[in-house]
Structure 1
Amino acid sequence: MKRIIIPSIALAALSTSVFAACPQVTVDNAMGVPAGAYPQQYELAEFQSAANCTLTFSGNPAAEALNGRIRGNPALPSLAQRIPQEPLVVAPYSAIGKYGGTLDVLSNATEAGTSDFLSVRHVNLVRYSDDLQTIVPNIAKSWSWNDDFTQLTFKLRKGHKWSDGAPFSSADVKYWYDNLALNSNVIAKPKDYVLVAGKPMTVDTPDAQTVIFNLPSPKPGLLAHFATSFAQGFQPKHFLGKWDPELNADADKMAQAAGFENGLAVLSAYFGNSDWTDTPSPLLNSPQKVAKLPADVVPTLESHITVADSTEGRHLVANPYFHMVDTAGKQLPYISEQDEIYINENEVRLLKLVNSEVDYKSQSLQLPSVPQLLDGREKGDYSIDLRPEITLSSFGFNVTSENPEKRKVFGDLRFRQAMSVAINRDEVNEVAFFGMGNPAQYIGFSPAPSFVDAKWSKYKTEYDVKAANALLDQIGMKDIDGDKYRELPNGEKLVLNIQYSTQGVAGQMVELVAQHWSSVGVKTTVKEVTPDEYRSAQSSNQLDVVVWRKSQPIAIVLGNNELWVPPFENYFGGRVGMLWAEWVDSNGSSGVEPPAYVKELISDVNAFQSESAGTAASDALGSKLVQNMVENLLFIGVVQAPAPIYHRNALKNFTDFKTHSYEYYRTYPYRATQWFLEE
């Protein structure tokens, strides 16, 4: 394997006497090298100083062949010209890995159940370390706040390049913010995390390695947003910018030559029309036109890049310009290729796991599946780890239903109280979750911060059929025709049709809750659907009941208000109040005006985000948010239960996860780029 010494300012600064081979430090064996400023990683100069050595670098022997499969990429230059002058040095968990192999993964469908796999190759400016407490550098080398949290400065890595070899710089961060995140031609409505109390920030770029976010008011949670979100704070201006008519007068002409209507159509084909990083590429959305485009997919900073994309799945190869190396100087990632297949049927997915056809899986796996997975564990040579969930299985009623009579009933707090106390949570826990869960009410935060009174987690969770019936009687819901089920107060039939996806919740739980509600005279039916079918019906305001897992850690709430503002989550989660959201987004020109308590939630969460966590003002606002959310039961919590994480034992440097959760972006804290395959 060819080994190359990378010249850098950092190396030049070292003593000429320091030329010893570097110890191959791992998390399991530090070899006497002290820890750096951040856990399990170092900046180059920091590592060389701590280890008293000069690091030499080597790359994947297959890099040239892999690069040849990335259409649009130039011939591969030397490794010295590919990695940054200031690479991020990563200490693997157990061992220096070996190159090669294909990581086999399993998702539900295009844009459904894919965040698990997305997280494996994901990067952002920063991330949480695996303690889920410490934010550490990633794409950014460092960051700093001013005293009042109104200015966040990032320093980037010198010599960092996109996957096509083009320089990555501060201009790419500013381009993402100004020309994509705030561009209504690309994303119709700016996301909360790019705003501060509804107002935009500004981005300054005094030099190629410096980015300054100027905030109109304090928002300390902005940094945690970058550490947890799928939405990356950068995009390749050199590649995407040329398709924007505002930036390139020839954009439309170029697009039309490739068979597209205009430049924005090409931009949409590459980037999509949302911040979601998993929209179909031109390989899938424009297969007849993609050959006339300069590349199949957008250049990336991630560990792998897509080279095939269809309705059956995707295939990716290692990014030859990736910015991380291990403590032996080997460029990451170790694994050369990734292969993702789509299967929507839960039973078929489980069978493939039992047959050991998949290397890693956690998303869409629920606790009720564990017995089947454990039965095949020895033969399949894989491991199953149960880890606590951050989220809580929760139901919500369509308080802005298109049916005016249902809207009246679902909007009546007494109805939501009745439905909450009608649930036998202890039975759900025992039957669906083997007694391993914790019956609880939805409070928005998880884990509960110190300012949350413990009573709210138990609010209206007592199983009380008598109270439920009394509340329903008060509303005027009677059994008029003698079929044992209640009608709406105006005499119309009421049947709650619960649609659910196993990606969101366990089917056994849904079935039990449906029985509980039927037992108090509210006829309830259950139907399993795909995630896409569920989300489409939910977003078009067609569902009577929504059911998904919800909750976020305080760090995420400080950077993103989505759980507290109608419709109370993004497209991928459980949402209610769609017409309230329309009213908010349109400044009251359309939709349905929300009640006063919802307006208070909006105001209070914006104020909460501007306070520093742990202060008296922050705690008071947080306490008020919880009380308001819980007392109004917009979402009804059921049980918080652990869930399984699956990996084949041949997948090495795989560590124990603290949680089974999307909220810290699944594998992102656990550094999947240093996984390797033993075969």
Structure 2
Amino acid sequence: MFHPAATSGATPGARRGSVAALLLFGLAATVLLAGGRDGAAAERQLQEAPALAEMVAKGELPPVADRVPQPPMVVDLEASGQTVGKPGGTLHTLIGRARDVRLLVVYGYARLVGYDSQFNIRPDILESLEISDGGRTFTMTLRAGHKWSDGEPFTAEDFRYWWEDVATEEELSPTGPPIELVIDGERPKVTFPDDRTVVYSWSQPNPYFIPRLAGTSPLYIYRPAHYLKQFHKTYAEAADIERMVEEQNVRNWAALHNAVDNLYAFDNPALPTLQPWMNTTEPPSLRFVAVRNPYFHRVDPDGMQLPYIDEVIMNTAAAPLIPAKTAAGESDLQARNIAFSNYTFLRENEERSGYHTYLWRTAKGSHFALFPNLNATDDVWRKYLRDVRFRRALSMAIDRMAINQTLFFGLAVESNNTVLPGSPLHRDEYQNAWTERDIEKANALLDEIGLTERNGDGIRLFPENGQPVEIIVETAGEDTEQTDILELIREDWQKIGVKLFTKPSQRSVLRNRVFSGDAVMSVWTGLEMGVPTFEMSPAELAPTDQYSLQWPKWGQYHQTKGAAGEAPDMPVPKQLYQLHKDWLHAQDPAEKKRIWHEMLSLYTDQVFTIGVVAGVPQPVVVSRKLHNVPEEAIYNWDPGAFFGIYGPDSFWFDQ
């Protein structure tokens, strides 16, 4: 039974922090992470997937023993509560837009190191990772004989190419290496002792490095050099590059290289991959077909090369139609674009369409949150959105209990956008800050800041221009649940003289409008890391990321090292930014914990985002023929990769 009060549980957060603690505090001189089980056993009994046997027999593909690295990554199915499966079959799933083909990378979740189902960090693509010097030096060992999906060797040269020819090449990376690799202005020292060894080191600990390698949208510190060199000015003939630039209608060689080089977007079928499935369809398309990677590095305990499933087909459909199509049996595995409001409908169609509907726990700081844009370009709106009294009034006017009871049967947690009860950092004062409904006090706050005049409809007027206080809340237009919540909030805000309009648009359009400052308020989910421990970075609470929709320009300024965006110019966000830097340099665990609590206190008291409800269960529809999908699990973006940490390469069909 789902218990909303235990939204994510303390165990995953505690386990997730175990490696981080060693990295941050130097509790051991050297930490060696080794992945998989007995690779030698798997080498003796490697089994060929039937779908590839004919190609091997014809000589079109080497035998499995020559395709799988040694040692392979042997998946411990028993530890995950899974069973040895049967290879074969096609998995159908639905996506709301062509760009969601990247979910093959999310779900496939092949990473240098990654989280397992218990949120422990383990080597995956890497054979081992040695962390020494108190988290200052990271020595990565590759698996012998590992190959890209096209059969070319995966070696340290792929890491060297990215570092020397991409990350530090000014035309390809004008702002330099990713911010996670730069500690107080210091770039890492990167060396390549041999074909299987890569070493990153800094003069001080880097707590971001390992979590970013394990991320859902990971930090890719390697590239398929053998493929990309044909587009690079250092390696290719100038005439060939000029011809391709003209054919692709791009500005220059750098634009050409960037267009073909995106391991995460998965939109270039020619780009070799290390994921379990290879996309074979070039966008735009309404149907994407991915086939098994014959060189994938994981095997099951019996030596069968994974993935079990031969083919994944992603069909695009209008997002509002996906629940109905799922209920009609058009998807074998679906959580994307379905919401808790669809749960009853999905359950009613289980028998007819042959699937189960599970409820997975969610781990975001808020299932639904409003983001006032403190970087709005409109002078009047920016003035009021930056006034904490305005934000507090909007929060206090919301009847969270009514939203919870009406839309979520009381199963959600009425909460600010903050850490959840499963986190050791949780405090009731953070959860409840400015969330108690008090229309009288909200009205008094708005009067206090000068919004005293109203029009004939009772809507307040801006004294600066006489315009009504009408907030346009912009959404990605993908979720009817957001519309339902906003409709209830509309009624609440009407009682304090504020009118609410909604404006749905495509996700990319929404984000661009927020980034530019054209959108004054938007809707998204809350803190990505809802169950942190003090060893984990509190970066989400500070202006460090453009995708933090409450202060995108400040986040962009940080990410680009001042090359774009704007420097924070409000006292408390500047304080949060400094506290985040203090946390980075703190060595004492007690000090790190103190900084976390100070940041959480400031963040919630200042209502930089307006959380509404948290802990809403996520329906997960699973075909009755599909096995090894957990009935109870956590559904989260990062860490979690939605299905990724549960190993979709080990899901299998009962044919």
One fold, TM greater than 0.5?
Answer: yes
Match of 2:487 among 492, 506, 511: 511
Shift of 1:466: 0.5
Q: Which amino acid aligns with 2:83?
A: A
Shift in alpha-carbon separation, 1:506–1:257, aligned structure 2, 3 A? closer
Q: Deviations over 1:323-360 (max 9, x none)?
A: 111111111111111111222332x1011100111111
Shift of 1:592: 6.1
Match of 2:39 among 41, 44, 62: 44
Does structure 1 retain, via aligned residues, the 8 Å contact 2:323–2:337?
Answer: no
Q: State the match for 1:87 in structure 2.
A: 72
Q: Which amino acid aligns with 1:96?
A: V
Match of 2:618 among 636, 643, 667: 643
Q: State the match for 2:317 in structure 1.
A: 343
Secondary structure of the structure 1 residue equivalent to 2:362: coil
Q: State the match for 1:205 in structure 2.
A: 192
CA distance in 2, matches of 1:40, 1:580: 39
- Whether 1:545 and 2:518 are equivalent positions in the alignment is no
Shift in alpha-carbon separation, 1:269–1:101, aligned structure 2, 3 A? same
Shift in alpha-carbon separation, 1:301–1:414, aligned structure 2, 3 A? same
Does structure 2 retain, via aligned residues, the 8 Å contact 1:567–1:575?
Answer: no
CA distance in 2, matches of 1:337, 1:557: 41
Q: State the match for 1:288 in structure 2.
A: none
- Whether 1:305 and 2:278 are equivalent positions in the alignment is yes
Unaligned runs of 5+ in 2: 1-31
- Whether 1:437 and 2:432 are equivalent positions in the alignment is no
Match of 1:314 among 271, 288, 295: 288
Shift of 1:582: 5.4
Q: Which amino acid aligns with 1:383?
A: H
Q: Which amino acid aligns with 2:61?
A: L
Does structure 1 retain, via aligned residues, the 8 Å contact 2:275–2:293?
Answer: yes
CA distance in 2, matches of 1:269, 1:38: 35
Match of 2:259 among 269, 273, 297: 269
Shift in alpha-carbon separation, 1:179–1:551, aligned structure 2, 3 A? farther
Shift in alpha-carbon separation, 1:56–1:592, aligned structure 2, 3 A? closer
Q: State the match for 1:158 in structure 2.
A: 144
Secondary structure of the structure 2 residue equivalent to 1:196: coil
Match of 2:94 among 101, 106, 113: 106
Shift in alpha-carbon separation, 1:602–1:165, aligned structure 2, 3 A? same
CA distance in 2, matches of 1:147, 1:359: 47
Secondary structure of the structure 2 residue equivalent to 1:625: helix
Does structure 2 retain, via aligned residues, the 8 Å contact 1:218–1:611?
Answer: no
Shift of 1:319: 0.6
Q: State the match for 1:293 in structure 2.
A: none
CA distance in 1, matches of 2:450, 2:404: 32
The Cα RMSD (Å) is 2.9
Secondary structure of the structure 2 residue equivalent to 1:638: strand
- Whether 1:669 and 2:642 are equivalent positions in the alignment is no
Shift in alpha-carbon separation, 1:76–1:559, aligned structure 2, 3 A? farther
Does structure 2 retain, via aligned residues, the 8 Å contact 1:125–1:233?
Answer: no
Q: Which amino acid aligns with 1:489?
A: P
Q: Which amino acid aligns with 1:380?
A: S
Shift in alpha-carbon separation, 1:121–1:95, aligned structure 2, 3 A? same
Q: Deviations over 1:510-546 (max 9, x none)?
A: 2212221222111101233332332232233221211
Does structure 2 retain, via aligned residues, the 8 Å contact 1:362–1:660?
Answer: no
Q: State the match for 2:14 in structure 1.
A: none
Q: State the match for 2:508 in structure 1.
A: 532
Q: State the match for 2:16 in structure 1.
A: none
CA distance in 2, matches of 1:507, 1:589: 33
Unaligned runs of 5+ in 1: 1-36, 49-53, 69-73, 282-295
CA distance in 1, matches of 2:360, 2:198: 37
Q: Which amino acid aligns with 1:395?
A: L
Shift in alpha-carbon separation, 1:416–1:374, aligned structure 2, 3 A? same
Shift of 1:137: 1.8
Q: Which amino acid aligns with 1:538?
A: V
Range moving further from structure 2, 327-336 or 448-457: 448-457
Secondary structure of the structure 1 residue equivalent to 2:206: coil
Shift in alpha-carbon separation, 1:94–1:280, aligned structure 2, 3 A? closer
Shift of 1:257: 5.0
Q: State the match for 1:278 in structure 2.
A: 265
Correspondences of 1:315-464 after superposition (within 5 Å): 315-346=289-320, 348-391=321-364, 392=366, 393-443=368-418, 445-446=419-420, 449-464=423-438
Q: Which amino acid aligns with 1:362?
A: A
Q: Which amino acid aligns with 2:155?
A: S
Q: State the match for 1:241 in structure 2.
A: 229
Q: State the match for 1:186 in structure 2.
A: 172
Shift in alpha-carbon separation, 1:452–1:229, aligned structure 2, 3 A? same
- Whether 1:143 and 2:132 are equivalent positions in the alignment is no
Secondary structure of the structure 1 residue equivalent to 2:635: coil
Does structure 1 retain, via aligned residues, the 8 Å contact 2:553–2:566?
Answer: yes
Q: State the match for 1:597 in structure 2.
A: 572
Q: State the match for 1:172 in structure 2.
A: 158
Shift of 1:648: 1.0
Secondary structure of the structure 2 residue equivalent to 1:515: helix
Q: Deviations over 1:234-260 (max 9, x none)?
A: 221121133221x31526624515724
So what's the TM-score if we normalise by structure 2?
A: 0.86
CA distance in 2, matches of 1:64, 1:188: 46
Q: Deviations over 1:81-100 (max 9, x none)?
A: 21112111123354332222
Shift of 1:118: 3.1
Does structure 2 retain, via aligned residues, the 8 Å contact 1:172–1:237?
Answer: yes
Q: State the match for 1:12 in structure 2.
A: none
CA distance in 1, matches of 2:180, 2:271: 23
Does structure 2 retain, via aligned residues, the 8 Å contact 1:59–1:331?
Answer: yes
Shift in alpha-carbon separation, 1:81–1:117, aligned structure 2, 3 A? closer
Q: State the match for 2:17 in structure 1.
A: none
Correspondences of 1:463-612 after superposition (within 5 Å): 463-490=437-464, 491-501=466-476, 503=478, 506-553=482-529, 563-566=540-543, 568=545, 570=547, 575-581=549-555, 584=558, 585=560, 587=562, 591=566, 593-611=568-586
Shift of 1:496: 0.8
CA distance in 1, matches of 2:335, 2:599: 31
Q: State the match for 1:78 in structure 2.
A: 63
Q: State the match for 2:27 in structure 1.
A: none
Match of 1:253 among 240, 261, 264: 240
Q: Deviations over 1:404-426 (max 9, x none)?
A: 01110111110001011111111
Range moving further from structure 2, 330-339 or 560-569: 560-569
Q: State the match for 1:656 in structure 2.
A: 631
Shift in alpha-carbon separation, 1:123–1:609, aligned structure 2, 3 A? farther
CA distance in 2, matches of 1:84, 1:477: 68
Shift of 1:307: 1.0
Q: State the match for 1:230 in structure 2.
A: 217
- Whether 1:632 and 2:606 are equivalent positions in the alignment is yes
Q: Which amino acid aligns with 2:624?
A: N
Shift of 1:128: 1.0
Does structure 2 retain, via aligned residues, the 8 Å contact 1:120–1:668?
Answer: yes
Range moving further from structure 2, 179-188 or 669-678: 179-188
Shift of 1:569: 5.1
Does structure 2 retain, via aligned residues, the 8 Å contact 1:124–1:233?
Answer: no
Shift of 1:64: 6.5
CA distance in 2, matches of 1:216, 1:489: 55
